[in-house]
Amino acid sequence: MSLKPFTGQFFCCTGVEISLKRDVVEKIEALGGTNYNDLMTDVNYLIVGDRETEKYQFCIKNRSDIVFLAPEAILTVHKHWINGEDESSDLLKLENYKLPIFAGMSVCLSRIGLSTSQIDHLVNTVEFRPKNAKYDYFTPRNLLKVFYKNGGEAKETLQRSQDFIITADPRGTRYNKAIEWNVPVVHPIWIVDSVLRGGALNIEDYILTGNPSDCFDRGCNVWMEVIKFNENHEKTPTEKVKSVEPEVKRKIITNKNNADIWNSIMDRTKMQSKKLTRDKTWDDEDEDDDEEENETKTDNDDDDDSKPILAESKTSSTLSESSLFLGFNFCTLGFDDRQTDLLTKTIESFQGEFTSDVNDDSITHVVIPAQKGHKSMEVLKALPSELKSRITNGFVHVVTEFYLERCMFYKKIILDRWGQPMKGLIPSKKSFRICISGFVGVELLHIQKLIEALQFEFCETLSDQRDLLILNINLFKPSFMKNSPKLFQYKCKDIINCPTGGSLSLMASKNKIEAAKSWGIPVVSVAYLWEILELSANKSHVVMPDITDLQWCIFAPINYSKPRSLLEYVKNMDKASRENSFGPEDDHKQESNDDDFQGDAESLTSVKLPSPRRINSRQKYGKLIPESSTSPKSIKNRLLEAANSVTTPTGDANHDTNPDITIDEDLSMISQIRYHDQDSMLNQEKLLEKLEGSTMPPIEESSSKRRRVGS
């Protein structure tokens, strides 16, 4: 006959409600275990209903062999047993149902950051803490995660209902209020020690005293026994595979085994917390709480802060989406009431804090509207000097609503240029029509918002009436890296590194490029749009970059003389902006000296080939009649044909409408060509010479006249 799961095991209850205790004891005995009313030396498991009892406080400080359980763990194992689970099943092993270290605790976290000297003092003055531990272990965000992952509830706002406040700094509004309300103030090293111990230590041993030499080593009297106990209960190979933290190998003294023990404690604590909260067999009242806790712990498996986290393995779930802004306190400026209300609800739904008090010393982020990026300095001037100082020193981040949207979309904290105020986001006085291709997700949304904020016209479809096509260059990255590497050398890498949408997006973008070529529409990367913002910063008008710059130019038509073209828009827009910025007496000067315009004036005029430098009055030339044609053509038509042709390296003319871009059959070979440069101008002259040579007698004087016209 097989043994019952609890055969040979001894239990004791503490702080458990009477009716629940009766049920628990019955099930312990049914499973073969023995329950003591008093804490005996042979007790293996302490069933905890309340930590504020003498039994728990004695065991956590002096009994390294005791395993702490929640009452529901017994009920869960009993249910699995009567359902016929095999006796070797993990579902019947109590080690998998340990009480989460911080379960049921609600605290306020305030200023828990520790300096490197404080960390060195706390770690090196005692033997039980891991030596040479990375400072990343003690960062505020990591400690928040550790506390939350092990069942605790933490907020940055202080409430009377909270158990205590955790802080390393005996200053500030919350600290003073905690003293006034008689709320215990606990040092953050309590979190680390409790995880190492495997249970919440008595906070009375970690009360913040303000004494910098205090090492807080009074929480447990059996640290070395705890280490040995964990060494004897090493994980199985299966557990090691599931919970590996290669970067968390730390020595407790100088011993490799001690480092393994530390890793074992960290990983096993996390696994046990997850296994317990996933169980849904508890009573109805607790079930809702457990489901909610489980959701917040497992929703987001993709978050990665690239920092080692205590009590967390690579495969274990990371900070959940619903706690994305946990530990952050946002203050909004420049939004109307409706926008502020929407932002507040969004922030709080992700466990962030919102304050309208600019004097709150717990502010971590100031949020201003993205559309008011050009007025960001004016908006921030109204802030108190202390907050401005913290912004300058990097303790407070100034962001826009783009930051919140990007964090929510990627389900992790992302602080990049997209989410920062854009000082060059100035409404333009003239508009042109822009179409985009290849963008997906939040980048698609934000590019559209930027175009509209500049008061350009965002067009969802491409037609011959558009002025510009912005392409996601990552769709054709292998080809561009080979043929046009400058596209990926733009200074703002986080702007051009946009995700792509797969093969359908590739085909759509290819078709748009072909259409843009046939209609003579320039194609650029998103770097061009961003460069507008960079150049327009601290200016009174929008400054347009040189569209031919190889850092963003993908295609530009050779003959581009239509009055509705982008080049005309660029030149006229910049000119109009200056006319609005300067008086009439400066008009002539501004027309002749456009310092802010980044394009080359000569290249802008040269694109309207051919254009004689000097117009001779009523100068006449004879008609050119080609040998192979009976239909005479004017010199104007000849020159237009020459302007639309390209000479190949072998000297042959290429008469493609738009020969500036090449896409091979597999959609990957796109080459980047810019507007006319000096070499292409020489090629144009050679073509004219060939043209003249085939239709005119070789008279030196006549040839000289033709070259002047085509120059």
Greater confidence, 400 or 282?
400
User: Residue range 362-371: average pLDDT?
Assistant: 92
User: Residue range 315-335: average pLDDT?
Assistant: 71
What is the spatial distance between Cα 568 and Cα 580, in angstroms, rounded to a whole number? 18
Banded pLDDT at 682 (limits 50, 70, 90): low
Q: What is the pTM of this model?
A: 0.44
Delimit the domains of the chain by residue range: 10-97, 106-298, 324-419, 433-606, 610-643+679-711
Note the pLDDT tens digit of each residue in 5-32: 899 999 999 999 999 999 999 999 999 9
Token code pair at residue 4? 């019952």
Note the pLDDT tens digit of each residue in 30-79: 999 999 999 999 999 999 999 999 999 999 999 999 999 999 999 999 99
pLDDT greater than 50 at residue 266: no
* Tokens 């042979």 sit on residue: 42
- Residue range 106-298, CATH number: 3.40.50.10190
pLDDT at residue number 652: 40
- SS3 state of residue 664: coil
Q: Could you write out the DSSP letters of every residue in 43-80?
A: --EEEES-SSSHHHHHHHHH-TT-EEE-HHHHHHHHHH
Residue pair 511/503 in contact (Cβ under 8 Å)? The answer is no
Domains 10-97 and 324-419 share a fold: yes
3-state secondary structure 106-117: EEEECCCCCCHH
Alpha helices in 125-164 (DSSP H): 140-149
pLDDT greater than 70 at residue 318: no
CA separation (Å) from 331 to 175, 355, 365?
A: 21, 5, 6
**Strands 523-525 and 553-555, how do they pair?**
antiparallel
What is the spatial distance between Cα 220 and Cα 212, in angstroms, rounded to a whole number? 20
Residue 251: strand pairing partners = 131
Greater confidence, 547 or 585?
547
Banded pLDDT at 435 (limits 50, 70, 90): very high
Note the pLDDT tens digit of each residue in 137-196: 888 888 988 998 899 998 888 888 899 999 998 888 888 899 999 999 999 999 999 999
User: Residue range 497-521: average pLDDT?
Assistant: 87
pLDDT at residue number 600: 40
pLDDT at residue number 399: 95
CA separation (Å) from 266 to 192, 310, 566?
A: 10, 6, 60
pLDDT at residue number 488: 93
Dihedral sign computed on CA atoms, order 575, 579, 582, 586: positive
Banded pLDDT at 428 (limits 50, 70, 90): confident
Lowest mean pLDDT, pick from 76-80, 189-193, 198-202, 675-679: 675-679
Among candidates 642, 644, 649, 631, which has minimal Cα distance to 690?
A: 642
Lowest mean pLDDT, pick from 335-344, 437-446, 558-567: 558-567
Which amino acid appears at position 314 of this protein? K
Work out the percent of the chain whose per-residue pLDDT is above 70: 65
Among candidates 223, 212, 82, 199, which has minimal Cα distance to 151?
A: 199
pLDDT at residue number 159: 87
- Residue range 433-606, CATH number: 3.40.50.10190
Strands (E), 123-237: 153-155, 164-166, 185-186
Please give the helix or strand (H or E) that residue 507 lies within, else none: helix 503-519
Q: Does the structural domain 324-419 have CATH classification 3.10.20.340?
A: no
Banded pLDDT at 268 (limits 50, 70, 90): very low
**Strands 10-14 and 365-368, how do they pair?**
unpaired
Q: What is the mean pLDDT of the chain?
A: 74
pLDDT greater than 90 at residue 294: no
Q: Does the structural domain 10-97 have CATH classification 3.40.50.10190?
A: yes
Note the pLDDT tens digit of each residue in 84-119: 888 778 888 888 899 999 999 999 988 898 888 888
User: Residue range 695-706: average pLDDT?
Assistant: 43
Note the pLDDT tens digit of each residue in 450-501: 999 999 999 999 999 999 999 999 999 988 888 889 999 999 998 999 998 8
By the 10 Å C-beta count (0-12 exposed, 13-18 middle, 19+ buried), 499 is classed as: middle
Dihedral sign computed on CA atoms, order 544, 549, 552, 556: positive
pLDDT greater than 50 at residue 328: yes
pLDDT greater than 50 at residue 445: yes
pLDDT at residue number 559: 56
- The CA angle 45-49-53, to the nearest 5 degrees, is 85
Note the pLDDT tens digit of each residue in 68-93: 999 999 999 999 998 888 877 888 88
pLDDT greater than 60 at residue 639: no
